[in-house]
Each structure stands twice: as C-alpha cells, then as structure tokens.
Amino acid sequence: MINFEALYKLSYGMYVVSSGDHKSGNAYISNTVFQVTSNPPQIATCCHKDNYTIGFIQQTKAFAVSVLHEHSSSDIFKRLGYKSGRDFKKFEGIHVKYGVSGLPIVLDDAIACFECELVQSIDLGSHMMFIGQLIHSELLEEASEPMTYAYYRDVKKAAAPKKAPTYQAYIGPMVEPDTKGPKRYQCLACDYIYDDAEHDLLFVDLPYDWECPDCGSPKSIFVEIQ
Amino acid sequence: MINFEALYKLSYGMYVVSSGDHKSGNAYISNTVFQVTSNPPQIATCCHKDNYTIGFIQQTKAFAVSVLHEHSSSDIFKRLGYKSGRDFKKFEGIHVKYGVSGLPIVLDDAIACFECELVQSIDLGSHMMFIGQLIHSELLEEASEPMTYAYYRDVKKAAAPKKAPTYQAYIGPMVEPDTKGPKRYQCLACDYIYDDAEHDLLFVDLPYDWECPDCGSPKSIFVEIQ
C-alpha cells in the first residue's frame, strides 16, 4: 500500500532548468535537481516528456540550472512553471544570460547557477532523467537561502491569500484531503474554477491524472480559493 | 570554472537507505533520495560503489528508505554513516522492522519509510544510481519535520560544540576554506587528529580524495575541534 503523504517527507529545492542557445530556448520549474557524484561533479534532473524544454536539451546535449532563493516571486513560477514555451516566449521580460557553453541561464531570483554537458539520458516512463557533467558553476548571491519545496508550500499556507499560487510540482498531487464540505479550486494556468458544489465528486477525490477541462493543465496546479 | 560553494545551494533531505533480508543486511546514510516519476511512483537513490549495502541491493533487487526527522540523534549518523557494515553489525541495538517485501527498514529517528523494487541501475562512475518502483510507503510520524541537509549543517554550526558531528555527505567536500591560521580536525570514525601545525599542508588544502591515515575514512567526515 502506498501512503502518498509519506512522499511529502522527501526534501527538495526549487530550480529553473533551461536549455537552448542564443536563438531559441526554454525553461521550466523543477524540484528534482541533484548532485549525484563529486568526482567528476555530475548533476541529475528529471523532465516530463511533454515538456517543451526537452527538445532543446536533447538537441544541444546540455542544460543549465538556476537555484531559486527563498523569497522568489510568484511571477517566476507562473511564467516558467504554469505556461508552455510552445505558445509563450518565457525569456521575454526576464533576465537571461548566456553561459560559457552558450546556454541560456535565468537570473531572476537565482542565487547560483550551473552549466552541464549531457552524459546520460535515462527513460523513466513519463519522464526522462538527464545526467550532466558540471562544466561551470557560479555563486550569484551568497547570503540568500535556497528555497525548499517544503518552504514554498508552508509559507503559502501560512499567508493564505485568496489566490495563493501554492506551486505544486508535477511529481505528486499536493492537495491535502482534509476538506470539509464543498470548496472551490482555480487553475493557475487558465483561471478555470472547479466548484465542488457543482460536481458529483469533490475536487480532492478526482483522480491524480485528472486535467483541467479548459486548458489540460494537471490537477496539481489548482489552488484553493474562497 | 566550477565554484563548489554554488553546489551547497542545492537542497537535500537526510535518509537511511537499507537492503538485505531477515538473515543479513546493511544500511547507510544518504542525502540523495528523490521521487522521479509519479505514475507509477519511482524513487531514485545513489550509492557509492565501495558501499557495503550495494551488494544487498543488487542481490535482492530492492531497497528501503527511512526519512530522518529534524532532531535525529548524532548516534544514527555515527552508526550508519561513519562505519562500515563489513566489520560492524549496524542493525544491532537499533529498531529495525522487516517490510512487506522482507527488506530491513530502520525505524530509529524515522518519520516515513518506503520499499522499492529495483527497476534500473545506472553506472555513474564512482556511484551507482538505483531507480526503484515504490511498492509500499508508510507515514510513521506525521508531526515531525524531515531533516534537510542544510539544517543539519546549520544547526551544528550554530551550536558549535567541541566535537560537533557536522555530518558531511560523500557527494561533496563541505569544509569551508575560510580558515585563518592552523586548526585541528578530528576523524569521527577513529578519532585521529589532523593538526595543521604539524603538517606542511593545511587540512582545508588537502585534496578532496585524501583519506584518514589511520582508518581510511574520507576527508569529509572530519570535524574541526579546538
């Protein structure tokens, strides 16, 4: 038996993974970035196969990572996490630099960045895991703490704004089943509202692979609203 | 150019990874455990090739993970992280249960546990990455926070006891090169002391693959003492 709440006890950071070149590129929000060996330093990251960035990683055989700090703006998650680069130029209006490898690197809200050359690609089913050798890294802001996935969820919960962008990564459903009575949930991508009172099933009881009927976004990006 | 301090901005949890069966088994401390897909749920972990547990994982084609909480005792790190199961029975004197798969699971200081069936093994050079499909998970203690790698380092630094067991994982060197003048460092495994005053090289300038001359432990498990 799998207790999904147990999975919430795993710890992650919050990152931007990017790839491409001076002409075109894309980036997405990820919580799965890990150093997997030290000699040589290799970094692993996971990318959903539907993700627009995946083509750039496979083409350039390289990817960059920006580490987000604890006070990163909601904008960066909305821009890079909840929209697709297929129909939105993610780099327009934010700070991007081109690294020693020519990779685009997102600087907004970043405290460190890494450039990696692809060494291995592992098929995980829904996702690819990319393992890259670290060729360049920079500390951009020493004093700031990296954002952890837990911090992101907890702070949003504490502040409880009406439209809190409680970012929930694709790797697991994060809506907690402690609801009493009907509630309302809004899609962060297209603003579609799921009102429990209008449906046979409560939102929390919808299957994990349920998608927004308007824009096809995953259940995990819905947030509770009042 | 690689700035190693940038790597300290990556976030991790702290875990016990175990394998074996009722008759024999072993466990080690790891900071690299992460969920890599949600459908089906798969968990990845990295294991140094010299690690005694690796044989049990390859033999049983399975591994278990215990998530350590924020107030885990130093004992658990000393026992499972700084000694080898080749010459020390790690499970004697602690609480171990046998899971649905027959795997030994360490319960001391654990707030959640996972049992995984091995799906893929990836050669990373110094380490193997094991990807397992989650077959069983349990929440053992809902209220406690998981220990993060950063928390472990920060709390030890804040308390600054003379023999602080500032656990430092194998994946990266964690001694910060901000030393002024000679200092003394002690091996947590065998208590050997490296006194800067008695050597040509400062401890911080020793190569990353330097080992304790008495017991062969990695440089990373030395702590500064007064």
In our burial notation (b when 16+ CB lie closer than 10 A, e otherwise), range A51-81 reads bbbbebbeebebbbbbbbbeebebebbbbbb
Chain A hits for B33, Cβ within 8 Å: 10
Asked if B173's CB is within 8 angstroms of A38's CB, the reply is yes
Decide if B187 is inside a domain. Answer: yes
Task: Please write the tens of the pLDDT for every residue from A24-72.
Answer: 999 999 999 999 998 899 999 999 998 999 999 999 999 999 999 998 8
Chain B hits for A148, Cβ within 8 Å: 11, 148, 150
Q: Which of B120, B139, B158 is the last residue of a domain?
A: B139
ipTM of this predicted structure: 0.74
| Closest approach of A156 to chain B, Cα-based (Å) | 17
In our burial notation (b when 16+ CB lie closer than 10 A, e otherwise), range B63-94 reads bbbbbbbeebeeebbbbbbbbbbeeeebbeeb
Residues B105 and B23 in one domain: yes
Decide if B152 is inside a domain. Answer: no
Residue among B6, B131, B139 whose CB faces A5 most closely? B139
Residues A135 and A176 in one domain: no
Residues B72 and B181 in one domain: no
Residues B119 and B49 in one domain: yes
Task: Please write the tens of the pLDDT for every residue from B185-219.
Answer: 988 777 889 998 888 888 888 877 788 888 877 78
The pTM score is 0.75
Chain B hits for A4, Cβ within 8 Å: 137
Chain A hits for B32, Cβ within 8 Å: 34-36
What distance in Å separates the CA atoms of residue B83 and residue B39, rounded to the nearest whole number? 36
Residues A135 and A182 in one domain: no
Decide if B110 is inside a domain. Answer: yes
Surface-to-core class of residue B177, CB atoms within 10 Å of its CB (0-12 exposed, 13-18 middle, 19+ buried):
exposed
Task: Please write the tens of the pLDDT for every residue from B68-125.
Answer: 999 888 888 888 887 788 888 999 999 999 999 999 999 999 999 999 999 999 999 9
Task: Please write the tens of the pLDDT for every residue from A151-199.
Answer: 876 664 422 222 222 223 333 333 333 445 688 998 877 788 999 888 8
Cβ neighbour number for residue A132 with a 10 Å cutoff: 25
Rg (C-alpha) for chain B, rounded Å, is 18
Res. A13: pLDDT tops 60: yes
Residue of A8, A9, A130 to mutate for B, most B C-beta atoms under 10 A? A9
| Cβ within 8 Å of residue A117, ≥6 positions away | A61, A62, A101, A132, A133, A135
Chains A and B form CB pairs within 8 A to the count of 172
pLDDT at B170: 32
Residue among B2, B32, B138 whose CB faces A6 most closely? B138
B45 backbone dihedrals φ, ψ, rounded to 5°: -150, 155
pLDDT at A180: 55
Chain A hits for B46, Cβ within 8 Å: 34, 36-37
pLDDT at B60: 98
Structural domain that includes position A197: 172-225
Residue among A6, A124, A138 whose CB faces B6 most closely? A138
Residues B185 and B82 in one domain: no
Residues A62 and A103 sit within 8 Å (Cβ to Cβ): yes
In total, how many domains does chain B have? 2
Residues B127 and B212 in one domain: no
Residues A110 and A99 sit within 8 Å (Cβ to Cβ): no
Task: Please write the tens of the pLDDT for every residue from A76-85.
Answer: 888 888 778 8
Residue among B12, B37, B170 whose CB faces A126 most closely? B37
Asked if B137's CB is within 8 angstroms of A7's CB, the reply is yes
**Is the minimum CB–CB distance between B46 and chain A shorter than 8 Å?**
yes
Cβ neighbour number for residue A217 with a 10 Å cutoff: 18
Residues A121 and A51 in one domain: yes
Residue A194, token pair as written in the block: 């799921």
**Is the minimum CB–CB distance between A107 and chain B shorter than 8 Å?**
no
Q: What is the CATH number of the domain that holds A35?
A: 2.30.110.10
Decide if B55 is inside a domain. Answer: yes
Residues B183 and B125 in one domain: no
Residues A27 and A126 in one domain: yes
Decide if B6 is inside a domain. Answer: no
Place of tokens 């459908």: B39
Asked if B2's CB is within 8 angstroms of A137's CB, the reply is yes
Q: Which of A122, A139, A156 is the last residue of a domain?
A: A139
Chain A hits for B145, Cβ within 8 Å: 150
Residue of B nearest to A9 (CA): B146
Q: Which of A120, A139, A158 is the last residue of a domain?
A: A139
Q: What is the CATH number of the domain that holds B197?
A: 2.20.28.10
Decide if A1 is inside a domain. Answer: no
pLDDT at A4: 86
Decide if A163 is inside a domain. Answer: no
Query: Residue A133 is inside which H or E element, if any?
Result: strand A127-139
**Is the minimum CB–CB distance between A177 and chain B shorter than 8 Å?**
no
What distance in Å separates the CA atoms of residue A96 and residue A106, rounded to the nearest whole number? 5
Interface of A with B in 108-127 (CB under 8 A): 111-114, 120, 122, 124-127
Decide if A26 is inside a domain. Answer: yes
Residues A122 and A176 in one domain: no
Res. B146: pLDDT tops 80: yes
CA angle A173, A179, A181 (to 5 degrees): 135
Asked if B170's CB is within 8 angstroms of A38's CB, the reply is yes
Asked if B37's CB is within 8 angstroms of A136's CB, the reply is no
**Is the minimum CB–CB distance between B138 and chain A shorter than 8 Å?**
yes
Residue among B2, B111, B170 whose CB faces A41 most closely? B2
Residues A129 and A44 sit within 8 Å (Cβ to Cβ): yes
pLDDT at B173: 32
Residues A29 and A170 sit within 8 Å (Cβ to Cβ): no
